[in-house]
Protein backbone atom coordinates (compact mmCIF):
# COMPACT_ATOMS: atom_id res chain seq x y z
CA UNK A 1 0.00 0.00 0.00
CA UNK A 2 2.72 2.44 0.99
CA UNK A 3 4.76 1.80 -2.15
CA UNK A 4 1.70 2.13 -4.39
CA UNK A 5 0.74 5.44 -2.78
CA UNK A 6 4.24 6.83 -3.27
CA UNK A 7 4.28 5.62 -6.87
CA UNK A 8 0.93 7.31 -7.62
CA UNK A 9 2.03 10.57 -6.04
CA UNK A 10 5.36 10.64 -7.89
CA UNK A 11 3.63 9.79 -11.18
CA UNK A 12 1.12 12.61 -10.65
CA UNK A 13 3.97 15.07 -10.02
CA UNK A 14 5.62 13.97 -13.26
CA UNK A 15 2.34 14.28 -15.20
CA UNK A 16 1.80 17.79 -13.78
CA UNK A 17 5.24 18.86 -14.98
CA UNK A 18 4.64 17.35 -18.43
CA UNK A 19 1.26 19.07 -18.76
CA UNK A 20 2.71 22.49 -17.93
CA UNK A 21 5.67 21.90 -20.26
CA UNK A 22 3.34 21.20 -23.20
CA UNK A 23 2.47 24.91 -23.34
CA UNK A 24 6.10 25.86 -23.92
CA UNK A 25 6.28 23.04 -26.49
CA UNK A 26 3.23 24.44 -28.31
CA UNK A 27 4.74 27.90 -28.56
CA UNK A 28 8.10 26.57 -29.70
CA UNK A 29 7.11 23.75 -32.05
CA UNK A 30 3.87 25.03 -33.66
CA UNK A 31 2.65 21.47 -34.27
CA UNK A 32 -0.75 19.80 -34.05
CA UNK A 33 0.68 17.24 -31.64
CA UNK A 34 1.49 20.06 -29.23
CA UNK A 35 -2.05 21.43 -29.52
CA UNK A 36 -3.47 18.04 -28.59
CA UNK A 37 -0.99 17.79 -25.70
CA UNK A 38 -2.27 21.04 -24.16
CA UNK A 39 -5.82 19.63 -24.11
CA UNK A 40 -6.52 18.99 -20.39
CA UNK A 41 -8.61 15.87 -21.07
CA UNK A 42 -5.63 13.51 -21.09
CA UNK A 43 -4.38 15.04 -17.84
CA UNK A 44 -7.81 14.68 -16.26
CA UNK A 45 -8.11 11.08 -17.42
CA UNK A 46 -4.73 10.04 -16.04
CA UNK A 47 -5.46 11.87 -12.80
CA UNK A 48 -8.79 10.10 -12.31
CA UNK A 49 -7.16 6.70 -12.80
CA UNK A 50 -4.50 7.50 -10.20
CA UNK A 51 -7.16 8.86 -7.84
CA UNK A 52 -9.16 5.63 -7.91
CA UNK A 53 -5.98 3.62 -7.32
CA UNK A 54 -5.19 5.83 -4.31
CA UNK A 55 -8.77 5.61 -3.09
CA UNK A 56 -8.62 1.82 -3.17
CA UNK A 57 -5.37 1.90 -1.20
CA UNK A 58 -6.92 4.33 1.28
CA UNK A 59 -9.81 1.96 1.91
CA UNK A 60 -7.37 -0.92 2.44
CA UNK A 61 -5.35 1.14 4.91
CA UNK A 62 -8.47 2.00 6.91
CA UNK A 63 -9.52 -1.64 7.03
CA UNK A 64 -6.07 -2.81 8.13
CA UNK A 65 -5.32 0.27 10.26
CA UNK A 66 -1.90 0.59 8.64
CA UNK A 67 -0.12 3.43 6.82
CA UNK A 68 -2.96 5.86 7.48
CA UNK A 69 -0.62 8.85 7.72
CA UNK A 70 1.10 7.85 4.49
CA UNK A 71 -2.22 7.54 2.69
CA UNK A 72 -3.54 10.87 3.97
CA UNK A 73 -0.30 12.58 2.89
CA UNK A 74 -0.47 10.93 -0.53
CA UNK A 75 -4.10 11.97 -1.04
CA UNK A 76 -3.40 15.60 -0.08
CA UNK A 77 -0.29 15.72 -2.27
CA UNK A 78 -2.17 14.14 -5.14
CA UNK A 79 -4.95 16.73 -5.10
CA UNK A 80 -2.41 19.55 -4.88
CA UNK A 81 -0.54 18.36 -7.98
CA UNK A 82 -3.80 17.50 -9.75
CA UNK A 83 -5.72 20.75 -9.21
CA UNK A 84 -2.98 23.38 -9.18
CA UNK A 85 -1.73 22.77 -12.77
CA UNK A 86 -5.30 23.06 -14.06
CA UNK A 87 -5.68 26.48 -12.44
CA UNK A 88 -2.35 27.92 -13.54
CA UNK A 89 -3.58 29.66 -16.68
CA UNK A 90 -1.26 32.67 -16.15
CA UNK A 91 1.70 30.28 -15.94
CA UNK A 92 0.49 28.42 -19.03
CA UNK A 93 0.24 31.71 -20.90
CA UNK A 94 3.73 32.78 -19.93
CA UNK A 95 5.19 29.38 -20.85
CA UNK A 96 3.52 29.51 -24.26
CA UNK A 97 4.68 33.08 -24.81
CA UNK A 98 8.24 32.12 -23.84
CA UNK A 99 8.05 29.22 -26.29
CA UNK A 100 7.03 31.31 -29.30
CA UNK A 101 9.49 34.05 -28.31
CA UNK A 102 12.35 31.54 -28.12
CA UNK A 103 11.43 30.06 -31.51
CA UNK A 104 11.02 33.38 -33.33
CA UNK A 105 14.07 35.05 -31.82
CA UNK A 106 16.28 32.16 -32.92
CA UNK A 107 15.81 33.25 -36.54
CA UNK A 108 14.86 36.92 -36.40
CA UNK A 109 16.12 40.00 -34.61
CA UNK A 110 13.87 42.70 -33.17
CA UNK A 111 14.69 44.90 -36.16
CA UNK A 112 13.67 42.05 -38.49
CA UNK A 113 10.25 41.88 -36.84
CA UNK A 114 9.84 45.66 -36.99
CA UNK A 115 10.77 45.60 -40.67
CA UNK A 116 8.32 42.77 -41.32
CA UNK A 117 5.44 44.60 -39.65
CA UNK A 118 6.20 47.87 -41.40
CA UNK A 119 6.69 46.31 -44.84
CA UNK A 120 3.63 44.08 -44.81
CA UNK A 121 1.45 46.90 -43.50
CA UNK A 122 2.70 49.33 -46.16
CA UNK A 123 2.32 46.76 -48.94
CA UNK A 124 -1.12 45.41 -48.08
CA UNK A 125 -3.01 48.17 -46.34
CA UNK A 126 -6.11 49.16 -48.28
CA UNK A 127 -6.23 52.93 -48.43
CA UNK A 128 -9.99 53.05 -48.97
CA UNK A 129 -11.05 51.24 -45.80
CA UNK A 130 -9.60 49.61 -42.72
CA UNK A 131 -10.20 45.90 -43.28
CA UNK A 132 -8.09 44.80 -40.30
CA UNK A 133 -7.22 41.25 -41.39
CA UNK A 134 -4.58 40.79 -44.08
CA UNK A 135 -4.82 37.04 -43.65
CA UNK A 136 -7.16 34.95 -41.52
CA UNK A 137 -5.85 31.50 -40.55
CA UNK A 138 -3.83 31.36 -43.75
CA UNK A 139 -6.75 32.27 -46.01
CA UNK A 140 -7.27 35.41 -48.10
CA UNK A 141 -10.96 35.97 -47.37
CA UNK A 142 -10.30 39.59 -46.32
CA UNK A 143 -7.53 40.39 -48.80
CA UNK A 144 -8.23 41.86 -52.27
CA UNK A 145 -7.27 39.51 -55.12
CA UNK A 146 -4.63 41.85 -56.49
CA UNK A 147 -2.81 41.85 -53.14
CA UNK A 148 -2.70 38.08 -52.64
CA UNK A 149 0.50 37.55 -54.71
CA UNK A 150 2.17 40.21 -52.57
CA UNK A 151 1.30 38.27 -49.41
CA UNK A 152 2.69 35.10 -51.00
CA UNK A 153 6.01 36.90 -51.42
CA UNK A 154 6.03 37.65 -47.71
CA UNK A 155 5.36 33.96 -47.02
CA UNK A 156 8.53 33.07 -48.88
CA UNK A 157 10.56 35.70 -47.06
CA UNK A 158 9.14 34.95 -43.58
CA UNK A 159 8.59 31.18 -43.14
CA UNK A 160 6.64 31.65 -39.89
CA UNK A 161 3.74 32.79 -42.09
CA UNK A 162 3.51 29.14 -43.21
CA UNK A 163 3.65 27.54 -39.77
CA UNK A 164 0.47 25.55 -39.31
CA UNK A 165 0.52 24.60 -35.65
CA UNK A 166 -3.23 25.21 -35.40
CA UNK A 167 -4.05 23.03 -38.44
CA UNK A 168 -4.68 25.96 -40.80
CA UNK A 169 -2.47 26.96 -43.77
CA UNK A 170 -0.86 29.64 -41.64
CA UNK A 171 -1.43 32.25 -38.93
CA UNK A 172 -3.74 35.23 -38.94
CA UNK A 173 -2.17 38.62 -39.64
CA UNK A 174 -4.18 41.45 -38.19
CA UNK A 175 -3.70 45.22 -38.24
CA UNK A 176 -5.28 46.96 -35.27
CA UNK A 177 -4.65 50.50 -34.14
CA UNK A 178 -0.92 51.21 -34.23
CA UNK A 179 0.14 47.56 -34.07
CA UNK A 180 0.27 44.47 -36.24
CA UNK A 181 -0.32 41.02 -34.74
CA UNK A 182 0.51 37.55 -36.02
CA UNK A 183 -1.31 34.81 -34.16
CA UNK A 184 -2.30 31.16 -34.23
CA UNK A 185 -5.50 29.84 -32.68
CA UNK A 186 -6.28 26.52 -31.04
CA UNK A 187 -9.53 25.33 -29.52
CA UNK A 188 -8.79 26.93 -26.16
CA UNK A 189 -6.09 29.55 -26.76
CA UNK A 190 -4.64 32.09 -29.17
CA UNK A 191 -0.93 32.84 -29.21
CA UNK A 192 1.49 34.88 -31.28
CA UNK A 193 3.28 38.21 -31.26
CA UNK A 194 2.47 41.88 -31.72
CA UNK A 195 4.67 44.62 -33.17
CA UNK A 196 4.04 48.35 -32.75
CA UNK A 197 4.06 50.24 -36.04
CA UNK A 198 4.97 53.66 -34.71
CA UNK A 199 7.96 52.64 -32.57
CA UNK A 200 6.19 53.65 -29.37
CA UNK A 201 4.98 51.60 -26.44
CA UNK A 202 2.81 48.70 -27.64
CA UNK A 203 0.36 48.04 -24.79
CA UNK A 204 -1.25 44.55 -24.61
CA UNK A 205 -5.02 44.43 -24.06
CA UNK A 206 -6.48 43.29 -20.75
CA UNK A 207 -6.59 39.54 -20.14
CA UNK A 208 -3.47 38.79 -22.19
CA UNK A 209 -0.50 36.91 -20.73
CA UNK A 210 2.60 38.21 -22.40
CA UNK A 211 6.39 38.35 -22.43
CA UNK A 212 8.02 41.51 -23.72
CA UNK A 213 10.95 41.53 -26.11
CA UNK A 214 11.01 45.35 -26.21
CA UNK A 215 8.68 48.29 -25.60
CA UNK A 216 7.07 47.80 -29.01
CA UNK A 217 7.17 43.99 -29.36
CA UNK A 218 5.61 41.34 -27.13
CA UNK A 219 4.74 37.65 -27.40
CA UNK A 220 1.46 36.54 -25.88
CA UNK A 221 -1.32 34.06 -25.18
CA UNK A 222 -4.96 34.86 -24.55
Query: Is 202 found in the same domain as 173?
Result: yes
Domain tally, the chain: 2
Q: What is the mean pLDDT of residues 166-183?
A: 79
Please spell the DSSP secondary structure of the chain, one letter per residue.
-HHHHHHHHHHHHHHHHHHHHHHHHHHHH--HHHHHHT-HHHHHHHHHHHHHHHHHHHHHHHHHT-SHHHHHHHHHHHHHHHHTGGG-HHHHHHHHHHHHHHHHHHH--HHHHHHHHHHHHHHH--SSS---EEEBTTB-TTS-GGGHHHHHHHHHH-GGGG--TTSSSS-EEEEETTEEEEEEE-SS-EEEEEEESSSS--PPPTT-EEEEEETTEEEEE-
Task: Give the pLDDT of residue 128.
Answer: 45
Q: What is the mean pLDDT of residues 56-81?
A: 74
Task: Give the pLDDT of residue 219.
Answer: 95
| Each residue's pLDDT tens digit, 97-147 | 999 999 999 999 999 999 999 888 888 765 444 556 677 666 666 677 777
Q: What is the mean pLDDT of residues 186-195?
A: 82
Task: Give the pLDDT of residue 140.
Answer: 66
For residue 37, give its domain range: 2-87
Query: Is 74 found in the same domain as 175?
Result: no
Query: Is 82 found in the same domain as 56?
Result: yes
Query: Is 97 found in the same domain as 45?
Result: no
Percent with pLDDT over 90 in the chain: 18
Task: Give the pLDDT of residue 111.
Answer: 93
**Domain limit, last residue, from 66, 87, 108:** 87
| Each residue's pLDDT tens digit, 72-107 | 777 788 888 888 888 887 888 889 999 999 999 999
Task: Give the pLDDT of residue 195.
Answer: 93
Give yes or no for residue 70 having a pLDDT over 90. Answer: no
| Each residue's pLDDT tens digit, 14-46 | 999 999 899 898 888 877 788 888 888 898 999
Give yes or no for residue 166 having a pLDDT over 60. Answer: no
Give yes or no for residue 218 having a pLDDT over 90. Answer: yes
Amino acid sequence: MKQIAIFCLVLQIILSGIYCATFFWLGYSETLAAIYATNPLWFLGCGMILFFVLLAQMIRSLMRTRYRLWMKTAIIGFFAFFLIPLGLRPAHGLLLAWGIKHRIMQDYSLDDLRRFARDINDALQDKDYDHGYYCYKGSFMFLPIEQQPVYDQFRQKYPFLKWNGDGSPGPSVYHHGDALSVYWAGRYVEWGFSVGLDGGDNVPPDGVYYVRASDDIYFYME
